Structure formats: C-alpha cells, structure tokens
Amino acid sequence: MAEIGDIDKRVGLLLGKMTLREKIGQMVQVSYRGGGISDDLKHRLREGRIGSMLNGVPPEINAEIQRIAVEESRLGIPLIMGRDVVHGFRTIFPIPLGQAATWDPPLAEACARAAAGEAAAAGIHWTFAPMMDIARDPRWGRIAESFGEDPYLTSRFAEAAVRGFQGKDLAAPDAIAACAKHFAGYGAAEGGRDYDTANIPERLLRDVYLPPFKAAVDAGTATVMTAFNEIDGVPTTGNGRLLRGMLRDEWGFGGFVVSDWESVAEMVAHGFCEDDKEAAQKALAAGVDMEMQSSAYADHLESLVSEGAVPGKLIDNAVRRILKVKFGLGLFEKPPIYAASSSKAPSRENLDLAKQAALKSVVLLKNKNKILPLSKERSPIAVIGPLADDAYEILGTWNRDGRIEDTVTPLAGIRKLLGDSAEIHYAAGLEYSRSRDTGQFARAVELARQSKAVIFFGGEEAILSGEAHSRACLKLPGAQSELIEEIAGAGTPVVLVILAGRPLTIGDVSEKVDAVLYAWHPGTMGGSALADLIFGIEAPSGKLPVTFPQTEGQIPVYYAHKNTGRPPDRTPLTMLEDIPRRAAQSSLGDAARYLDIGYLPLYPFGYGLSYAEFAYGGLQISSDKIRRGENLRVSVQVTNIGNVDAEEVAQLYVRDLSASVTRPVKELKGFQRVRLKAKQTKTIVFDLSAEILGFHDGEMRYVVEPGEFHLWVGGDSRADLRAEFQIVE
C-alpha cells in the first residue's frame, strides 16, 4: 500500500497538469446504458471528461472503456468502476436486514470480504454500500438494505461492512472501496414513502441517525453518498452543515462525497434551486465532490468558475479527494487494470459462508408444542407455497449479479437433505406471492391432508422491497393468508416460513400455524440453510434487528422510545371491546397507547427463540459508581437449560433515569453471541464504557452527565435481569 504522503505528492503533481475541463471530468459519474460503446462515450473518455462509471457492464466492454480512458486520453487517468454490491456479487448473502438478524458483525464482515473479492475480479472498484440508514418504519422498502432500527447495532454492522469491503489494504486485488450511504436521515422518510421528506430534530439526528456514519468514517470508509431526502427544508445534497460541517470539519472525513442518482439535479424539483446551474453551485459548495448520473457539473461548473460564482479551489479540492481514492485503490499501479474476467461460479468457500450467514439470520418466532425441529422420519411432508421453489425471489432486492442456477431453493434443500427415502409432496398453491387466483388451492389442501406435516413458504417477492418499493399494507400479499387458513383447516401441523424484505404484520396468520420461522431473503444458499434448521441439523439463533408491529397503525413502533409523562404501562390496559357504553373518560386509564391495539408490538426488538432454552442469572457489576472515562465491568451467567446445543445472543441495555434532556426507556449498549452445549453455563462479560452513555445536550454538545442508570441483560429488549449504578463527578 502506498504511503499517504507519497499519494498526496502524486495527486498534487497530476492535479497540476490538468485543465479545468479535465478536473471537472473527474467529478462526473455516468451510467452505462448498454448497446456497446457509443462514439459520444469514446469522445468523452478521450477528452478526460468522465471520472467514473457505474452499473457494471460485460467484462469485455468494461475492459475497452477502461482501456480508452487509460491509453487514449491525455493524462491516462483510470476510471473508478462502481456497482451496487449490496449483499453479494455472484454469491448472494442474506439481505442486510437479514445479516443484522445474525447479530454477528464478524460474519457480516466476512460476507462483505467475499463479495469484494468476486466484484474486484470482474473489474469493479467501488460499491455503493453499506447502507446504514436507521429504519423504524417497515413500510419503507429500503428497510431491507438497512441494519434495522438501532444506532448501536447498526454502527457495529456498518464498520464491519466497511472493513470487509476494503480489507486491510485498499490497493489489494480483492478490495473495493466502500460507500457509506445515505447521508443522512433517509430512513426517516415521512410515511415510509421512499424519497419523501424527513423531519428530524438535530439532537435526534446526532444521537440516532448519525452514529452509524461516524462509525463508518472511523472504520476508514473511502466514500460517502448523500441522500435523496431533505431535512428541515434543505436537500442533503445541498446541505453544507451536514457535508462540510459535520462530516468533514467535526469528524475529519478525508474521502470523497458522491451524490445519489441525479440528486444534484433533483434539487430543482425540491424547490431548492432554480435550475441545474444553481444546483451545481450549491452541491459543490455544500461538499459534493462527484455527481452521479445527472449532468449539472459537466454542463455548468466550467462557466460557474469563469463567472467567479465557484472558486477554483473548490474544484481542486474535490478532484484531489477523488484522485486520492483512485491512487489508494492502486488503479495507477496495476496495468492493465481493465483486465477483468467474467463472473465465475461461486467458490465452495463462499457458498459455505453464504449458508452460515443464512443459518444465523433466520429468526424463530413461534414453536407451539415444540413442533420444530421436524423429524427426518416424519413422512410424508407437504412443501407448499409460492416461494418454496423460486430460485430468483429468495435472493432479494439489489440482486444485480446473482444467478438462479447457483441458488438452492427451499424445496431443493429439503429434498437433498431428506434424500429419496422421504415422501415429499409439493404444490405452489399460488403462482406467485401477489396472486389472488385460488385455482390451485384444492390440490394444496389435499396434499396437506395426506401429509404428517406442512411446511409453507410464503412472504413477499424480491420486487416488493427495496428502493421505490414502499408498501402501505404489510400483510402477506395476494391470497396467501386465505391459502394458509385452508391448509391449517386440514388438521395437519403447519410450519410457516416467511421470506421477506421487511417485517410483515403476520399476527393473524401466525395464530393459525404451529411454528413461524422468519427467513428474510436469505440468498444463494437459503434453501440449504432452511432445510438444516427445519430438521434440526442446526438450531435457530437469529434475533430481530427491528420491532415487528401488530398493525400498520402502530408505526412507528420501536423499543428505544421515550417514557412520556404518561407511560403506556402505567395503568391497566383497557381495550376497545371492554369499554362500557358512555364510559367515563377517567375510567380509560389515560396513557400513551391505543384503545384498539394497546402499545405492545407483535414481536420486540432483539427477540428470537431457539430449540434450546436459556436462563440468565448471577448479574454482577464491578462497581455501583463510575466516573467519566471509566468502564463498568458487567458479568452475567447464561445457562442452556435445554437438551440441544445452541447459540444465544446476550444483550445489554441501559437507561439514563434523569438527564438534562429526556432519554429513551432502554438503549442497546452491548451484545455477545455465545454457543452453549446442553446444560452448559458460561459467564459473559461486558465492558461498558461511560463514554457511550452520553448524548447531545441543548447546545448540541456530546455530554456524559452524572446521574443514576439502570442496566439489563437478557435475550431481547424485554430483559428484566437488572442492576443499578451511577455516573459521578
């Protein structure tokens, strides 16, 4: 890896040779649209008017584009080739929300490392990932790309993904540059509608939405991407307080900032700019170094400089940052950098990793009478559902480069595990997840009657989550609920497996079945992993990274809420159906909750069952008083009181009881995965730093205030094993 000083010197020498037009060219990113290399594209490459391309191309075209840039332009500056390598390249891993359900950041880092190697071999240098937007509204389609609702959990996965993509040496042949996105507040879009406005007070922004980005910056992310949304009337692509104030001046970020797709030009539609020319001026002034896809920079920066509206120094600084990343990637050191190869079939190592990630991502939500795991001898078995044998939908959103021929479907995984001796009946029941055609119901129900167990694979297709795929109604789409009800009526035990990109409101349907496994979109090896879990080769160990609402009317619902002056649990809950006619207002028990649904979610944050059972006890803390700068040692004994070996995720939560601004009722501040044999006990130790118990005060200063705290340790956010301590002066 080249030394920083050496890179700075080389960047300075190259920058000194560049014309203004060539400099602006480095700030331009365009998407390859297919159809070969046009004469216009060749001309722009030869003139040095393109600095980056995205959306990938066939390797042979990719190589020729890069060759033209390197060999036929005046200065021979290579392009940085970008691609959405979000949760895999050829090998598809669980969607990011599913990876967060593993509560295993080192595993996520390994997945990113494998994806980087596959992408780099195909000529990709830069991924637009990880996405670390805090997501507390499951209606928002891009919750699938997130790591969930919690800033601490998301921060750990954000830094893990950055390390995984970039490795120890960004110039290594299997490393690609990461891009922390979307800066900032994109996950708070009103109503869960993608691209919509986000109204976030500055303290909430700093305490909840920004910590994952700070973690990514501290982990060394090479780039950051702006968001589509506005905050307090200012689109983030034109928000100098965010980009220059917080990101660069406060945090010291030294990489470059890229806009999201056409978000520079979209500031005109926002009503923040009169035209593209003003948009280019405001975006650059705010701190956007490279414009993705739209052409405001290419069309207007040159004239803006000549008119004196844009200082040339802003151009130089932006180009300097872009070139530093290119040198850091070693693009000038590895000729021919355009010698990319076609996407190869996944390696055995990567497939094994994908299976491990899928195994740990699945969350067991219900297991009535311990029906799971099923016995291999429990035959015949009916496998039913529109997602039981669909090799595409299991891969999930942002699957740009995965192949269905690599995919193991749930049906294929079950057949391979059980072998020819088992009798397996299969019926889709519905052609696809949104279908309302009941024509196949009769056969599915008849197969259920003939079987000793039913495994139903339902949920939502990949297209129903991801960018621009927000949903107002979160029930199982199509006629799935009706089909499940008819199958359950056949009297055969039913195991429901949900494949989805978000939490769904499955309360009604879960009551009709015996067990529920939530598998997200688990990727290439999802079918093999699910077969192992269903038949007890492995025990489920996933935990929810996001709260599941009972109904859409509860949204937003998240565990780290404020207590309010009238907490929801302060009086007995009176439900709508129990209220007498013309009841006195005082009899309702005034509190922050709904009359018709209460206040509890369907499943809480951090929740997840196992085939084993775990008991927590012996909670001890090293002191009941600590000072700022000190750590509190927290130890707890976890015992597997079940009869199978399994993994548990022990979680540490904290509450600041009284502060200069109100604090949440609980906040995650630590977690550990531990594998326990049946009847085994282990002592788990957390090192709780006083510094992570701070917040931003009325002056937006990060402070750690003295006062009383509660802490809890347990298997989910409802943990009730409690200790108390103080932070003192």
Q: How far apart are CA 436 and CA 421, in angstroms?
A: 35
Is the CB of residue 116 less than 8 Å from the CB of residue 162? no
* 342 SS3 class: coil
Is the CB of residue 510 less than 8 Å from the CB of residue 516? yes
The rounded radius of gyration (Å) of the Cα atoms in the chain is: 27
Closest by Cα among 57, 50, 49 to 33: 57
Helices 480-488, 441-449: inter-axial angle, 10-degree rounding: 30
* 501 SS3 class: coil
Q: Catalytic annotation on 260?
A: yes
Pairing of strands 614-621, 707-714: unpaired
Q: How far apart are CA 438 and CA 483, in angstroms?
A: 8
AA identity, residue 537? I
Residue 135 exposure: Cα atoms within 13 Å on the Cβ side: 31
Q: How far apart are CA 252 and CA 244, in angstroms?
A: 10
What are the residues facing 725 on neighbouring strands?
A: 709
Buried b (16+ CB within 10 A) or exposed e, 605-615: bbbbbbbbebe
Write the CA distances from 284 to 197, 279, 325, 548, 566, integer angstroms.
22, 8, 18, 40, 47
Q: How far apart are CA 397 and CA 146, in angstroms?
A: 12
Q: How far apart are CA 385 and CA 433, in angstroms?
A: 8
Q: How far apart are CA 294 and CA 82, in angstroms?
A: 16
Candidates 104, 133, 194, 260; catalytic one: 260
Q: How far apart are CA 280 and CA 151, in angstroms?
A: 32
The two tokens of residue 481 are 């609920």
Q: What are phi and psi of 536, to 5 degrees?
A: 80, 15
* 608 SS3 class: coil
Buried b (16+ CB within 10 A) or exposed e, 517-547: bbbbbbbbbbbbbbbbbbbeebbbbbbbbbb
Closest by Cα among 499, 494, 485 to 513: 494
Cβ within 8 Å of residue 675, ≥6 positions away:
645, 646, 647
Active site members: 260
